[in-house]
Amino acid sequence: MTVLERKVYFFEDLETGMEASFQKVVTDADIVAFANVSGDKNPVHLDEAYAARTMFKGRIAHGMLTAGYISAVFGMEMPGPGAIYVSQTLNFKAPVRIGDTVIAKVKLIELIPAKRRARFECQCLVAGKPVLEGEAVLMVPARPAA
């Protein structure tokens, strides 16, 4: 599906209570690519022998990789292309491991018409349990004049 075929929500289309999600299985390649792109090469993410000696007892994904799945919901599902982050809070609840299926979910909880802002509850789940929770505020484009 191309960007032009995707549903794009303009500010006027949004209503509190709307929800959207994105699902991704975390792979070793994802973690290595994120380490290379971000520069975060903490061995807890990349070195099994090192990570085995930590409280996690094995490698874990970067928390910000998991948070990136929330960005995928906003950029591609709802509101969709054209929406811009203003702020995001993140509370990490549990580690994400290679092979975990992460479901990122957002729910619209407030509309701020004066600035075309939308506030969302955000959550990432693995096996139905929260691994990340937070809130985000996005700037959402108005419908173009006809």
User: pLDDT, tens digit, for every residue of 52-85?
Assistant: 999 999 999 999 999 999 999 999 999 999 999 9
* pLDDT for res 104: 98
Phi, psi of 43 (to 5 degrees): -65, -15
pTM: 0.91
Which residues pair with residue 105 across a beta bridge? 21, 123
Separation between Cα atoms, residue 15 and residue 105, nearest integer Å:
16
CB of 120 closer than 8 Å to CB of 138: yes
* In the chain, domain spans: 10-139
How far is residue 74's CA from residue 78's CA, in Å, rounded to a whole number? 5
Stronger pLDDT, 63 or 8, i.e. the higher one: 63
CATH class of the domain comprising 10-139: alpha beta
